[in-house]
Structure 1
Amino acid sequence: MVPQPDRRRPAAAGTGGGGAGVITRAQPWLGTLVEISADSDAAIDAGFAAIARVHRALNAHDRGSELSHANRNAPHQPVRLSRMAAAVIGRAQFWAARSDGAFDASAGHWRAVQLTGRTLRYAVPLALDLSGIAKGFAVDRAVVALRRTGTRHGLVNAGGDMRGFGAAWPVSLVRPDRAPVAKITLHDASLATSALRPDGSDDHLRGLARGIVSASVECRRAIDADALAKIVAGGGPRVAACLDTVGAVALVIGAGGELTQIGNPDRLAA
C-alpha cells in the first residue's frame, strides 16, 4: 500500500491528553487508518516510519512481504526470519499456547507452527495471518520511535489498537452501534478491542462468547492487548489466567449495554 497524504488535524479540545502544541496526523497502514498524536512533526514522522516497516514485513496480502514468503515456503523447508517477524510470531504462539488456541493466527493449526529461535517451519500446509497482533506490535514500535525523538507525550491509534504515554489520554468505550458505555483514561498503557460490527456480524473474528458484543483489554503493550481482546471475546476457562499473565484488565460490554470487569480489581471504569 502506498500511503495517501497525511490527514492533519489539531488534537481535540478537552481530551486531557492533547493540550497546546499537540499535532495529530493520520495515514492508511495495516489495513486501517493509523493516527499518531505527538508534539512535533519529526516525532510523528518517526512513528509512521516504524509502522511502515511492520506493514511491509508482515502484510499477509502482499506477496512480496516477509510473511508471505514464509507462508509459501515454511510448509516445505525451514525459513530464516528477521528479528521482527520472529518476535511477532513468537508472541502469537505464546498466546495460542496460553489460551489453548482461543487466540490462533493460523486458523486452527497453531501446534503445527514450529518456531525455534528465528527459524520457522510448518508441519502442515497453513498460512499465518498476523494482521491483528502485528497491528499491536506496530503500535508498540511506533511508541518506541516517538520516545526516541524526545517527545514528551504521544498516542498511537491503529484502528482501535492504541497506546498512550506521558499524558492522560481519555478513551470512550462504545457499543458496536457507537453508543457510549464508559470512559477510561490511558496513561502509559495500551488498549485493544474486539467487537461485533454495527450490523451484528462477527466474521472478522473467530466468534464472540454468548452475550458479549465487545471486549476491551488494557495492559502495558499493545501486542498483548490485541491478542487478549480476542481471547476475552471468545470466552472460555483460561481468560482470567491469561489476563493475569501480564496484569491486564478486561472491560466487557454485554448485549444490554452492561459493563463487566475481569481482572485487576483496582482498575475501574468511570
Structure 2
Amino acid sequence: MLHIPDKKNIYKDLEIETFSPPKTLHLPLSAFGGDLEVIVQKGERVLKHQKLAQKEGFFGGNIHAPVSGHIGEFIVANGEPFLELFNDFLDEVIDVKHSLPTQISDFIQLLQENGIEGSGGARFPTAAKYNVNEGQIDTLIINGAECEPYLSADYALMKSYANEVSQTLHFIQHLYKIKTIILGIERMHKSLKPLLEKAFKHFNVEGKIKLLPDFYPQGGELQLIKSITGKELKKGTIPSKEGILVSNVATFIAIHNALFKVIPYIFKNT
C-alpha cells in the first residue's frame, strides 16, 4: 500500500449541490456482461423514473428516466451505446408503489427492477451480489474508505446521509440475519465517526465504525476485507462464499431510495 498526499481538505466539507437538469441527456445502455434492450420508441413521451431499457438474467439490470421528456435517437459514441432523452422540464413522475420486501427473493427483485449497481465504480449488479441465502453472510462491510487522493464524494454522502445509510443497514441486517456490520472509513475522516455511531444507535444497527490507515488502495475490496477482518482472500475469490459482503456507501443510499422512497437508480457513481 502507498501513502499518497491528498487534497481532500480543500473541498471535502462543501455541501452537496444539485445541478440544473440539461435539455438533452444521453443515457448509457452498456451494463455488466452486455448491453441493455431498449423498450421505448423514438418520439415516445416518458415520465421520470419510467423504465427505458432492461437486461434480464442473473446479471440483469434496468435504466430509468432521470427526467420526463421525449425519446430521441439511439446513439453509438466511442463504441458505446446511448439512448437520447429530451427533457421537457415538467418533471412528471410515474406513479409506482411497493411494500417493503419481507423475503430475500423479493428484495433481490426490487434491486434488479430498480437497476441498482455497485456505486464504487465497478458497476457490478447489486442484485447479483446480494443473491445469497439467509444466514450465509457473517460480516457486512460498508466501504467508506475513499482512498483516492482527490475524491471526497463518499465522505460527503456519509456526512449528509448517515441516517439513510443506517436505516438501510438495519433493514438488510435483519433480512439476512447478519451478525456483524462494520463501516470502514479512513483515519483522516475520523470526525465522521461520532455522527455515524449516533445514526447506528438511532436505527438499532448492531455494528461499529472502524478507522483505517490512510493508505492507497485501501478502498479495494480485498484490501478492505484484510484491513477490517484480517482475512486475506485470494484474487478471484467471491467474498460471499467466505461469509463476507462488501458494498460502497453510495450503493446503500441507492438501496435506501428504492426501499423507502420508491426512486430507481438514476444516478451513477456518485
TM-score past 0.5 threshold: no
* TM-score range for the pair, normalised by the shorter chain length: under 0.3
Q: TM-score of the superposition, structure 2-length normalised?
A: 0.27
Higher strand fraction (1 or 2): 1
Q: TM-score of the superposition, structure 1-length normalised?
A: 0.27
